[in-house]
């Protein structure tokens, strides 16, 4: 059998090979035979085969010669190219802002026929898409999946078609328009309907009042009382390009006579108009605007000023639905690509290997594929010594049953015997003070009798030693004539606790699961 996912053609051939010819021939040859039932099942099984192949191949950390799909990878967002057109409202410049959410629809069954249902897959525009005045489109832009995962690669061409829109029927009267510099603010009575943060990016039509007929985009929201939103201050300037090149998007245009300024949002392909987000003043016709980057623009007339006309309590407004009012249509010409689940991170997590910030898949893959330096005795030593080596010290590893940790002996010897035979001393009467080799000949508890080990760390005198309480010479001060040198009155070697805690944590991470250990201070030596 093929090592790659089974195709629809292969599955149909498989079906034909396992059913009687008398059954399959009428379905394949007669019109309206109902073969679609078989064909749709092969489509489903082909998807299952692809999912199985993708999942099993993603269990491999490193690629191999028989790879039929990508090995384990990090999370990645699917991306898709969306095409936007419109069939009405040509007189208005329209902007779909970056982050606009476009929904995937699938066709489902119902008693009355096929119905479109939302699948929960959402794609968000990466950059602004602008339809110039008079332009039906299409304009294209890339949208990224809302979340990573392979399922975001599934939508077929022509199935990502609905711009998410909340409150598309909202409308009200008695609103006011105020200006803050060149910013337009719409203040609404605190009664339904009101515009909300979910309306940012949508368009409203001023139905009545001093600004009746204007279509403005909601660009901001304020939690003031009464509710207030900010409307765009975009001016539409018609004219022709001057002698010094064409203004570019992002440049700041300034009219020297009027003093008006604005940031260029879009330039028409024929240089007939500019879309300018006004930042100061009022643009006037028959004057030249100079770019701060390059080019000049001779303004023939101003189709729309950035500033609206102030009014108090007389403005009526309504939200414009994307499709029925603005004629917007969006679709994907091809299926999304690139979506991946975080299988590599999952495998790394199982092995206790985390991904460092900014680490690429190739680098992380090598770490995950390399067995962790844990469990074996040398790994335990290395884990502890990484902490102790900068201080010129090392640990002493004692494994139960090993030469440094012999455990219990049932012989008759003792530490008092002369001559000594320490290898056979009985554990019950050993005396490490007489014979230090007997320190680790002791009876073990049941839970310590298998897999147990101890890690010896040197005694360190680090940090916070307090004040000596007598006048012994420097270097041998002690507290109140204590017989222990360097015994300070209120001292505590807190640095020791930090080092020992770090050693304990490192060993704890490196040990095998279920194996217990103890940290002890090695004062005598590792023998």
Strands 311-319 and 171-180: antiparallel
pLDDT of residue 326 exceeding 90 = yes
Q: What is the pLDDT of residues 15-43, one digit of tens each?
A: 999 999 999 999 999 988 989 999 999 99
Mean pLDDT to the nearest integer, 321-335? 96
pLDDT of residue 325 exceeding 90 = yes
User: What pLDDT is stored for residue 463 in this prediction?
Assistant: 62
Mean pLDDT to the nearest integer, 499-521? 90
Going from N- to C-terminal start, the domains of the chain cover 8-57, 69-75+340-372, 79-163, 171-231, 234-306, 377-407+444-522
Q: What is the pLDDT of residues 360-370, one digit of tens each?
A: 999 999 889 88
Nearest to 229 by CA among 203, 204, 196, 207: 196
User: What pLDDT is stored for residue 228 in this prediction?
Assistant: 93
pLDDT of residue 292 exceeding 60 = yes
pLDDT of residue 239 exceeding 90 = no
Q: Using CA atoms in the order 42, 43, 49, 54, what is the torsion angle rounded to 10 degrees?
A: 170
Q: What is the pLDDT of residues 414-438, one digit of tens each?
A: 666 677 666 666 666 667 777 777 7
User: pLDDT class for 513, splitting at 50, 70, 90?
Assistant: confident
Q: What is the pLDDT of residues 465-503, one digit of tens each?
A: 566 666 666 666 666 666 665 565 666 667 788 899 999
Please report how the helices 21-29 and 8-18 are oriented relative to each other, as an axis angle in degrees rounded to 10.
140
Number of H helices, E strands in the chain: 7, 23
* 8 burial type by CB count under 10 A (0-12 exposed, 13-18 middle, 19+ buried): middle
User: What pLDDT is stored for residue 514 in this prediction?
Assistant: 81
Higher pLDDT, 468 or 114: 114
Q: What is the pLDDT of residues 153-178, one digit of tens each?
A: 999 999 999 999 999 999 999 999 99
User: What pLDDT is stored for residue 485 in this prediction?
Assistant: 59
Q: What is the pLDDT of residues 206-221, one digit of tens each?
A: 999 999 999 999 999 9
pLDDT of residue 137 exceeding 60 = yes
Structure tokens at 450: 């298998």
pTM, two decimals, is 0.69
Paired strand residues for 107: 116
Mean pLDDT to the nearest integer, 279-296? 87
């Amino acid at each position: 059998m093929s090592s790659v996912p089974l195709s629809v053609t292969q599955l149909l051939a498989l079906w034909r090979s396992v059913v009687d010819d008398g059954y399959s021939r009428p379905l394949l040859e007669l019109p309206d035979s109902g073969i679609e039932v078989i064909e749709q099942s092969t489509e489903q099984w082909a998807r299952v085969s692809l999912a199985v192949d993708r999942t099993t191949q993603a269990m491999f950390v490193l690629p191999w010669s028989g790879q039929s799909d990508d090995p384990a990878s990090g999370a990645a967002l699917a991306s898709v190219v969306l095409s936007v057109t419109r069939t009405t409202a040509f007189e208005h410049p329209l902007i779909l802002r970056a982050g606009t959410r476009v929904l995937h629809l699938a066709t489902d069954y119902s008693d009355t026929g096929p119905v479109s249902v939302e699948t929960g897959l959402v794609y968000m525009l990466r950059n602004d898409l602008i339809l110039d005045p008079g332009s039906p489109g299409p304009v294209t832009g890339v949208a990224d999946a809302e979340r990573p995962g392979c399922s975001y690669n599934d939508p077929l061409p022509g199935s990502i078609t609905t711009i998410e829109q909340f409150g598309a029927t909202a409308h009200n009267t008695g609103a006011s328009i105020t200006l803050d510099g060149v910013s337009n603010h719409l203040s609404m009575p605190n009664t339904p309907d009101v515009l909300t943060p979910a309306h940012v990016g949508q368009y409203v039509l001023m139905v009545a009042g001093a600004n009746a007929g204007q279509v403005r985009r909601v660009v901001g929201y304020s939690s003031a009382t009464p509710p207030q939103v900010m409307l765009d201050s975009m001016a539409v300037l018609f004219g022709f390009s001057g002698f010094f090149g064409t203004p570019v998007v992002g440049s700041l245009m300034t009219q020297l006579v009027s003093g008006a300024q604005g940031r260029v949002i879009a330039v028409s392909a024929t240089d007939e108009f500019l879309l300018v987000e006004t930042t100061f003043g009022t643009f006037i016709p028959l004057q030249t605007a100079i770019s701060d980057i390059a080019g000049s623009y001779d303004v023939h007339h101003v189709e729309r000023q950035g500033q609206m006309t102030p009014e108090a309590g007389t403005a009526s407004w309504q939200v414009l639905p994307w499709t029925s009012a603005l004629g917007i249509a969006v679709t994907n010409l091809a299926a999304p690509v690139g979506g991946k689940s975080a299988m590599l991170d999952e495998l790394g997590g199982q092995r206790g290997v985390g991904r460092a910030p900014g680490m690429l898949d190739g680098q992380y893959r090598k770490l995950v594929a390399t067995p962790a330096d844990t469990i074996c005795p040398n790994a335990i030593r290395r884990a502890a010594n990484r902490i102790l080596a900068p201080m010129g010290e090392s640990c002493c590893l004692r494994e139960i049953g090993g030469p440094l940790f012999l455990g219990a002996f049932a012989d008759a010897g003792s530490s008092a015997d002369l001559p000594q035979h320490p290898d056979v001393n009985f554990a019950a009467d050993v005396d490490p003070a007489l014979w230090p080799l007997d320190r680790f000949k002791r009876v073990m508890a049941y839970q310590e009798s298998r897999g147990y080990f101890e890690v010896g760390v040197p005694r360190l005198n680090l940090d916070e030693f307090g004040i000596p309480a007598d006048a012994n010479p420097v270097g041998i001060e002690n507290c109140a004539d204590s017989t222990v040198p360097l015994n300070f009155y209120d001292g505590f070697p807190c640095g020791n606790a930090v080092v020992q805690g770090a050693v304990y944590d490192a060993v704890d991470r490196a040990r095998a699961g279920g194996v217990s250990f103890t940290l002890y201070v090695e004062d005598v030596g590792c023998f």
